[in-house]
Structure 1
Amino acid sequence: MIKSMTGFGKAEFEVNNKKITIEIKSLNSKQIDINTRTPALYREKDIIIRKMISEKLVRGKVDFNIYVENLGEESNSKINEPILKGYFNHLKQISTELGVETDFHALHTALRLPDVVKTEYETLDEQEWETIRKNIYKALEDIDSFRIQEGAALLSDISGNISSIQSLLAQVEPFEQQRMETIKNRLTDSLESLKLNGNVDENRFEQELIFYLEKLDINEEKVRLANHCSYFKETLEEELSTGKKLGFISQEIGREINTIGSKANEKNIQRIVVQMKDHLERVKEQLLNIL
């Protein structure tokens, strides 16, 4: 079973007069790359959150967000009344000395002065954190399910392209014998055109011809390519993470296709090789997103 590295998970819940939304999004990456955005209250749990994500998602570029909406009437921001009164009385005294009327604008000005509004920092309640932790796991399960669904789509597409390469490989056979005969006749005609008047050692010529034809033989590459394709399909069905392994096998498939193309020396086989490369490139593009 293969999984995509693309996914999205979300959990919404209420706790302690707060509506909390957890969102997790992942894209493809060579390693695990986690970016967290959480309110200050939960920063102390950042290492635990990262560990939970890395253990579940294994690989990918992951964005983790916690959004908090306060549902109660209380706020962490409080007006420091003694300081506000001190500022206002001071402004009122100055206004009197200057003969300026003290009105609402003076109060508005006082509210903007330093230390008038203070923020009381909460301490994280462990029961609240336990609720958040359970919902992080829920969001991680959601994103994992998303990855499995995407992986099924990738499996179908990748497997289809590998099957196409196998089918194209079978089409090489009819042209192979013809290719060797064409090369042999071409060499013979070239030799006759030199008009060496019988000064050619026929045995030596035959040995050289066999050696040359063996160098152009693609049977070994065909066998290896067929084996790599079969192994690729077997690896697709493995339970554990297989993305990197499939990448290595695809490199071997590409190497054999390129060798067949360089040895082909026959237009029909070269056309088949081009089609194989096209299917392999599609496979490689999809492999970038496999876990």
Structure 2
Amino acid sequence: MTGYGRGNAEKYNFSAEVEIKSVNSRFLDVFLKLPPLLFDREYEIREILKSKIKRGKINVTVQLKRNGNNDLAIVNETKLMEYISLIKRIKKTAGIKEEIKLEHLLNNREIISSSDVSLSEKEFNLVKKALKSAVDELLNMRKDEGKELSKDLTKRIKTIERRVVLIEKEFKKSVNSHFKKLKERLKSLTGEAELDEQRLNLELAAIADKADITEECVRLKSHLKFFIDSMNKQAEPGRKLNFLCQELNRETNTISSKSISTSLTHNAVLIKEEIEKIREQIQNIE
């Protein structure tokens, strides 16, 4: 889900500001923009984020200031010129016309390094405090979005439930209608010949058994109930909801393949459309 968070912490003439943005993604992808002083702390920062966030494309920017000065880095001009020269040679050899941009240089740790040897534990604790504040704000925003998403999913599940009820009613009607048409057709084909009613009823019962969708409807309703329960009660329901969507789709496909009426087929198609919309939505749920 999408979200935004910002956190600040300040003490010991040192301040940390963290900004986090998230957009929808099936998996967790974390992109960090850190000052040189935090390069050796990248793993710890990633682990903190992974413990709190399970899905989404996450962009994190951290800014540090010491004694009011945010220039906590030095530039190795020799390495800078070597790197620019190397890029120019690569461009010429590969026939690349793209201009050299600042972003090509900023993340090179040989060019930009910390002006101080390291960050103290007290200072890093402030970074973690700012990070926690930003993550909490992000999660609160995503929680609000999740509530709206839950309303939409519940509405779609209720729509499917109504369609299942219609399918059950339609099946009973269509079976009787189908049998009546088959009998009439057989009589027209046999003409005056006498039909063996007992044999005919046995054959029709066999056809009815093959077309029976009672079990599929029962399983559909069970999956729908479980979907709502999982969404409302489970902490991280994303994967389970995705699995349930697969099961809903499988049962609906079976109903469609057994259909003996256009109305029943039409309702099955409408259910599949709702399932697809639900499946797209739950890709954003953790």
Q: Distance in 2 between matches of 1:194 and 1:222?
A: 35
Q: Distance in 2 between matches of 1:247 and 1:73?
A: 46
Aligned pair in 2 of structure 1 residues 73, 280: CA closer, same or farther (>3 Å)? Answer: closer
Q: How does 1:155-234 map to 2 (within 5 A)?
A: 155-195=150-190, 198=193, 201-234=196-229
Q: Which amino acid counterpart does residue 61 of structure 1 have in structure 2?
A: K
What SS class does the counterpart of residue 23 from structure 1 fall into?
strand
What SS class does the counterpart of residue 20 from structure 2 fall into?
strand
State the match for 2:79 in structure 1: none
8 A contact 1:17–1:72 mirrored in 2? no
Q: Which amino acid counterpart does residue 45 of structure 1 have in structure 2?
A: R
Following TM superposition, by how much is the alpha carbon of 1:196 offset from its aligned partner in structure 2, in angstroms? 6.7
Answer with 121-130 or 162-171: which moved more: 121-130
Following TM superposition, by how much is the alpha carbon of 1:19 offset from its aligned partner in structure 2, in angstroms? 5.6
Following TM superposition, by how much is the alpha carbon of 1:15 offset from its aligned partner in structure 2, in angstroms? 5.3
State the match for 1:112 in structure 2: none
Following TM superposition, by how much is the alpha carbon of 1:142 offset from its aligned partner in structure 2, in angstroms? 1.1
Q: Distance in 1 between matches of 2:172 and 2:134?
A: 59
8 A contact 1:38–1:65 mirrored in 2? yes
State the match for 1:24 in structure 2: 20
**Mapped pair 1:55 → 2:54:** no
Q: Distance in 2 between matches of 1:31 and 1:62?
A: 10
Q: Normalising by the residue count of structure 1, what TM-score does the alignment of the two structures yield?
A: 0.76
- What do residues 264-284 of structure 1 show as CA deviations (whole Å, max 9, x unaligned)? 221222222232222222211
State the match for 2:127 in structure 1: 132
State the match for 1:121 in structure 2: 115
- What do residues 77-107 of structure 1 show as CA deviations (whole Å, max 9, x unaligned)? 69xxxxxxxxxxxxxxxxxxxxxxxxxxxxx
State the match for 1:40 in structure 2: 36
8 A contact 2:36–2:113 mirrored in 1? no
Aligned pair in 2 of structure 1 residues 122, 269: CA closer, same or farther (>3 Å)? Answer: same
Following TM superposition, by how much is the alpha carbon of 1:130 offset from its aligned partner in structure 2, in angstroms? 1.6
Aligned pair in 2 of structure 1 residues 144, 175: CA closer, same or farther (>3 Å)? Answer: same
What SS class does the counterpart of residue 4 from structure 2 fall into?
strand
Alpha-carbon RMSD: 2.6
- What do residues 117-145 of structure 1 show as CA deviations (whole Å, max 9, x unaligned)? x9872122332222111111111111111
**Mapped pair 1:284 → 2:279:** yes
| Count of residues in Structure 1 that have an aligned counterpart in Structure 2 | 248
Percent of pairs with identical residues: 29
Following TM superposition, by how much is the alpha carbon of 1:245 offset from its aligned partner in structure 2, in angstroms? 0.2
Q: Which amino acid counterpart does residue 44 of structure 1 have in structure 2?
A: D
8 A contact 2:64–2:70 mirrored in 1? no
Q: Normalising by the residue count of structure 2, what TM-score does the alignment of the two structures yield?
A: 0.77
**Mapped pair 1:242 → 2:237:** yes
Q: How does 1:91-110 map to 2 (within 5 A)?
A: none
8 A contact 2:64–2:72 mirrored in 1? no
Following TM superposition, by how much is the alpha carbon of 1:16 offset from its aligned partner in structure 2, in angstroms? 6.1
8 A contact 1:26–1:60 mirrored in 2? yes
Q: Distance in 1 between matches of 2:113 and 2:238?
A: 49
State the match for 2:258 in structure 1: 263
**Mapped pair 1:9 → 2:36:** no
What SS class does the counterpart of residue 172 from structure 1 fall into?
helix
Give 5+ residue unaligned stretches, structure 1: 79-117
Q: Which amino acid counterpart does residue 268 of structure 2 have in structure 1?
A: V
What SS class does the counterpart of residue 58 from structure 2 fall into?
strand
8 A contact 2:26–2:284 mirrored in 1? no
Q: Which amino acid counterpart does residue 27 of structure 1 have in structure 2?
A: V
Higher relative contact order (CA 8 A, sep 6+): 1
What SS class does the counterpart of residue 233 from structure 2 fall into?
coil
Following TM superposition, by how much is the alpha carbon of 1:200 offset from its aligned partner in structure 2, in angstroms? 5.5
Aligned pair in 2 of structure 1 residues 73, 182: CA closer, same or farther (>3 Å)? Answer: closer
- Structure with greater Cα Rg: 1
What SS class does the counterpart of residue 139 from structure 2 fall into?
helix
